[in-house]
Amino acid sequence: MADPKITLEQVLHVAKLARLALSDEEARQMQAQLDAILGYMDGLGELDVSDVPPTFHSIPMDAPLRRDVPERCADRAETLAQAPASEAGGYAVPLVLEADG
Amino acid sequence: MSDFPWQSAFEIREQVAAGKVTAVEVARAYLARAEALNPTLCCFVTIDHEGALAAAAQVDRMRGAGEALGALAGVPIAVKDNLCTRGVRTTCASKILGDYIPPYDAHVVQALRASGAVILGKTNLDEFAMGSSNENSAFAIVHNPWALDRAPGGSSGGSASATAAGLAPFALGSDTGGSVRQPAAFCGITAIKPTYGRVSRYGLVAFASSLDQVGPMARSVREAALLLEVVAGHDGRDATSAERETGSYLAACDRGVKGLRVGVVRDLIAGLQDQNVRVATESALSALEKEGATLVDVSLPHAKHAVSVYYLIATAEASSNLARFDGIRYGLRVPGDDLTETYMRTRAEGFGPEVRRRIMLGTYALSAGYYDAFYLKAQRVRTLIRRDYDRAFESCDVVCTPTTPTPAFALGEKTGDPLEMYLADIFTLPPSLAGLPAVSTPCGLSSGGLPIGIQLVAAPFEEELLCSVAQAVERECGLMGSRPPAIG
């Protein structure tokens, strides 16, 4: 059997980058599925595109700035109402720095 | 109301404007039908009685006061649930947004409201618009009204099923790699994927930002054209919104195809395994020829790489766009011991299997050491696909292929193998990657009684041409009033 396109170790590394918790079973299944997909994508290997510029934007256009006129932004209470937790007019988030003393 | 629920958007508006029926009566009738059929079809995630009746009452008030009525005054419409609606839950069919109520309207939703349209509710989809069968919804699987055991297509399966089943005359969907065209083909309706930039993406929950477009889905080409006229146009809130005049899509439906050159991708059509799709495509082409179009052979030599290119670029963009779902500002939060664990648990519980798979693939394609080999290479091959079309348009006005390799496949048929599901998108992906406008319209029924769609692709901003040709296909080989047999 050929080497896998992606190993279980790589899957776990990518899951960490993507901030996704995977169970052992999920990681094994993900490895098998991504391996099949990446194996199919090997077909791109037949093309030499080293001289071809990439197309990041399909339709050439400038990215114009909108006119700088003041507008009402979203209502704070309405926006915060969607937060899992809010406090004192802001988002309440888990502690990321240790309190000093 | 004559011919309920099959009357067109034009007829409804005319009856409302003439006072033959009130917008509230129309809304009530469609809401009742949606309520009655949704348990069977599962095409709505949310039915918005209150909002629909309020919008309808407003139209009736304006009529009573003698005010000018909008282009869609009193016409019911269904809206895909990845388009933000202020005050109405917008879930993307994901657990992570299960209770999310946007504080603003998408640009296209504002345009609908301004035109007097009556939004009946929000339609089901594959989670975050990722899928080709609507089986990736976190809430319910949508059924195809032509045969309930068949997929409605995806990801705008709810909008397609609702429109085909007469739950609304038309609907809005979104299309990243075929998500309005493929379900339209499966459900026997018409859908237009506009040129990238033609319709504002403001308020469309982002999946792959260089590909996403909002598109109309309707039971006739004319109604799709009308809806495109309402939602198209420049919007300063989307930096990729094109500064172009909106075309006369409705008028274009009457222009005919005399003298137009239709490019036929012979090798793709000859390679079709499904005889029904091949025969229906050939007969639509003959009909166009009879109507005065000229058929010319064209080729898209790099189209066969579209699945690889698309599933690298779209997943890379998705992995970046979906990073915003972290359990902090909106949506689900599953607390962990620290911030990182909160992110990881929230995302693991909030996203379904297909969304996780695509985030993983996209993160891998962008990660250190793989960027050049996967993401950048895909963007280079995308250029070759674009050049194929540039070359084709030197000798033709529209490029024609089937929309899908087969009619609607069975629910459950492809869920075990993600790659097989991806391969079913082979015809709709190339124009998406090139940013081109494309339409799918019915061109016949299979021997098993399932709709078949034909896809027409034009050069950037040439949606008018698509309307002219699609209208000719509809006239010559459309479904001619056949109704989906699986619903009453």
Domain architecture of chain B: domains with CATH? 9-252 (3.90.1300.10)
- Name the minimum distance, in Å, from the CA of B312 to any CA of chain A: 9
Domain ranges of chain A: 8-44
Show residues of chain A in contact with B302, CB under 8 Å. 47
> Residue B383 is nearest to which of A19, A53, A95, comparing CB atoms?
A53
Task: Pick B383's closest partner by Cβ from A19, A52, A83.
Answer: A52
Residue A101: the pLDDT is 52
Residue with more model confidence, A95 or B59: B59
Quote the pTM value. 0.97
B334, closest residue in chain A (CA to CA)? A84
* B196 at A interface, C-beta within 8 A: yes
Extract the runs of DSSP E, i.e. beta strands, from chain A: 86-87, 90-91
Is some CB atom of chain A closer than 8 A to the CB atom of B324? no
Q: Write out the catalytic residue numbers of B.
A: 80, 155, 179
Question: Between chains, do A21 and B344 touch, taking CB under 8 Å as contact?
Answer: yes
Confidence of residue A66 (pLDDT cuts 50, 70, 90): confident
CA distances from B204 to B143, B256, B479 (A): 24, 34, 31
What is the interface pTM, i.e. ipTM, of the complex? 0.94
| Residues present in chain B in total | 488
- Cα gap B320→A18, rounded to integer Å: 9
CA–CA min distance A36, chain B (Å)? 7
DSSP label at B118? E
The secondary structure element, H or E, covering residue B193 is strand B190-193
Q: Are B88 and B97 in contact (CB under 8 A)?
A: no
Alpha carbons B53 and B26: distance in angstroms, whole number: 9
Number of H helices, E strands in chain A: 3, 2
User: Does residue A1 surpass a pLDDT of 70?
Assistant: no
Per-residue pLDDT of chain B (488 residues; tens, 9 = 90+): 778 999 999 999 999 999 999 999 999 999 999 999 999 999 999 999 999 999 999 999 999 999 999 999 999 999 999 999 999 999 999 999 999 999 999 999 999 999 999 999 999 999 999 999 999 999 999 999 999 999 999 999 999 999 999 999 999 999 999 999 999 999 999 999 999 999 999 999 999 999 999 999 999 999 999 999 999 999 999 999 999 999 999 999 999 999 999 999 999 998 899 999 999 999 999 999 999 999 999 999 999 999 999 999 999 999 999 999 999 999 999 999 989 999 999 999 999 999 999 999 999 999 988 999 999 999 999 999 999 999 999 999 999 999 999 999 999 999 999 999 999 999 999 999 999 999 999 999 999 999 999 999 999 999 999 999 999 999 999 998 899 998 86
Confidence of residue A100 (pLDDT cuts 50, 70, 90): low
Cα–Cα distance for residue pair B396/B215, rounded to 1 Å = 24
| CATH class of the domain comprising A8-44 | mainly alpha
What residues of B are in contact with residue A69 (Cβ under 8 Å)? Answer: none
Residue B437, CA distances (Å) to A65, B235, B309, B382, B455 in order: 25, 19, 19, 16, 10
CA–CA separation, B275 vs B130, rounded Å?
29
Q: Do B462 and B399 touch, CB atoms closer than 8 A?
A: no
Residue A31: pLDDT band (50, 70, 90) is very high
Residue pair B382/B309 in contact (Cβ under 8 Å)? The answer is: yes
Upper half-sphere CA count for residue B330 (Cβ side, 13 Å)? 20
Please name the residues in contact with B87: beta carbons below 8 A apart, sequence gap of 6 or more: B51, B101, B102
Which residue among A14, A79, A91 places its CB closest to the CB of B103?
A79
Listed by number, the residues of chain B in 375-434 with a beta carbon closer than 8 Å to a beta carbon of chain A are 376-384, 386, 417-419, 422, 433-434
- DSSP lists the bridge partners of residue B441 as B454
- As a whole number of Å, the CA-based R_g of chain B is 21
pLDDT above 90: percentage of residues in chain A: 73
**Residue B124, phi then psi, degrees to nearest 5:** -65, 155
- Give the residues across from B297 on adjacent strands: B264
What is the C-alpha separation between A17 and B293, in angstroms, rounded? 53
CB count, 10 Å around CB of B22?
18
Select from B197, B360, B384 the Cβ nearest to the Cβ of A18. B360
